Amino acid sequence: MPWEALDTPGELGRLRDIAAVLIRHGFGDVVQRIGMAAALERAGKVLGRTVPREPARLSTPARVRCALEELGPTFVKLGQVLATRVDLLPAEWTAELGKLQDAAPAVPPAEIWAQLQEDLGAAPEAVFAEVETQPMAAASLAQVHRARLTDGTEVVLKVRRPGIRPVVEADLRLLNHLSEIVEAEAPELRRYRPCEVIAGFTLSMRRELNFSYECRSAERIAANLAACPEIVVPHIYWQWSGERLNVQDCIRGIPGRDLAAVDAAGLDRKLLARRGANAVLKMILEDGFFHADPHPGNFLYLPDNRIAFVDFGMVGRLSEKRRHQLALLLHYLADRDSGSGAGILLDWADGQVDVEHLTAEIEDFLDQYHGVPLRQFDLGAILSDLVGILRNHDLALPVDLALVVKAFITVEGMGRQLDPEFDIAAECAPFLERVMLAHYAPRAVMERSGRALSSTMHLLEDLPRGLNGLLSVARQGKLQAQIEVASLSRLGNQVDRAASRLTVGIVTASLVIGSSIVLAAGEVARASGLHWFGLLGFAGAGIGGIWLLISIWRDGKRA
């Protein structure tokens, strides 16, 4: 068990905190099963068995959410990422984790001002005409202050919390260890792919800690949406922005959740729903670079029915091939070709499965949409159900597609809140048609053919060299073929253990018989000193017998 890798006082102390929180929220069995309690006891760390906090009154997803909130910023972010993995977790889990609030107490102004001076190269008061000391928002990784440029432009300063990086990095190392242990010690949790999830989360967190990455993402999306004047993306001021500071336009508008204010301002709900959905669909299906967390907290409603998108810490990418596959899937649904639709889903799925059974199940599901026009699809429900089928077979989508599915479901929910008659499929249809046309456009076909031809030429160019190497190895008698079959390996181990026991049993029996003969010689054996060999033989037989019993008992527990 890799608990031994956690040997520093800080890591062991954090491990104790995590175990205590899990026990307090009713997950003591998990702590015991993956060996956290035993590891802490060996390290001399005291772990109090705190009574769970009303576990019976809360659902399991709610207790997990409460535990993540108590564990701090890294775990809150992990929960928010898990809320996007609709391919791994059921709807009740993603809905509960989606409630995680990224809020934290404000950092004292003196600490913030000291870091700002380092990043700006001068005192904040010397760079900006005005800076508010009271933050307008404080989150786990950063807090935001309003400021005003010398020309009167209102901006916001998103400042990374001082000292937060080493805290997050320590938690990420611990999470990596925990994911390995969970996969090794809790087979029923392997379906949730803890190592894969934590690896992706680690990359995402390190990007989010670097505000330059967020700034570049905002600029890229702003450039892609430049032809959409109804969509606003804050301008980035690069002369002051960097890894720990993001200076951007301050946009004042109606928060996405405040529908009463939308009505009071006289905005057109139907138009807002269409514009918001079209912006997200364009990002996903046309640009392949999209805001991966388009929930109501990340956009504002502006006068003239405009929409501002903010917070580009989480973005997704979708290759041209993926976009084409998504368009094909929906067209196969409309064209009654459920077999081809199932083929695309199987191509997306990651894992081992009974292909025939899964294909039949997907085809049965898709058959209910035969003849239904694309504009009448309940796209969010279809995607949720299809992902549910994959999840029931312990399959997962690639991360890019998981983010797309989550974005589709979120956008549809947002549109329905604004307009109960909102139809995401109707808004999606023109984009899908353009994706198909762009894929089969002569220029696109020529480019793909050129790339394929180039790859083929490289392969043919390297083929003689590869064949020569293969023949050379064969002439030297070094050519080997290795076949690994997991079941045969397990059978070999079982045969090896059985042979070892049989050998020890035979030796033990021989020692018992031989020692009995020696001791039966009586005075003759004592006179010659042979009786000591008889006693040693009995001792060896006893040790062999004890080993056999322990070995059989251990295998019984494993079974």
396 vs 403: CA distance, rounded Å = 12
Per-residue pLDDT at 490: 55
Look up residue 443 and give its two tokens.
Answer: 């220029």
CATH 3.30.1180 fits 105-138+141-164+191-250, yes or no: no
Q: What is the mean pLDDT for each group of 10 consecutive residues in the chain (559 residues)?
A: 57 77 80 67 55 62 88 86 80 84 81 93 93 89 93 94 90 86 76 82 89 94 94 95 95 91 94 92 91 83 94 87 82 68 74 73 74 65 77 76 82 86 82 80 76 76 76 72 54 60 69 66 59 68 72 60
Residue boundaries of the structural domains of the chain: 2-102+166-190, 105-138+141-164+191-250, 254-465, 497-558
Per-residue pLDDT at 6: 58
* Kind of pairing between the strands at 142-148 and 137-138: antiparallel
Per-residue pLDDT at 135: 92
Whole-model pTM? Answer: 0.71
Look-up of token digits 């990422």: 81
Per-residue pLDDT at 368: 73
Per-residue pLDDT at 500: 66
Number of residues assigned to the chain: 559
Residues tagged active-site: 293
Q: Which DSSP string do the residues of 62-114 spell out, in sequence order?
A: HHHHHHHHHH-HHHHHHHHHHTT-TTTS-HHHHHHHTT-----PPPPHHHHHH
Per-residue pLDDT at 245: 95
Per-residue pLDDT at 50: 46
Asked if residues 43 and 13 have their Cβ atoms less than 8 Å apart, the reply is no
Task: Give the percent of the chain with pLDDT over 70.
Answer: 77
Per-residue pLDDT at 487: 47
Per-residue pLDDT at 119: 93
Per-residue pLDDT at 416: 86
The CB-side HSE value for 135 (13 A sphere, CA atoms) comes to: 22
b/e 178-214 (16+ beta carbons within 10 angstroms → b): bbbbbbeeeeeeeebbbeebbeebbebbebbbbbbbb
Per-residue pLDDT at 51: 44
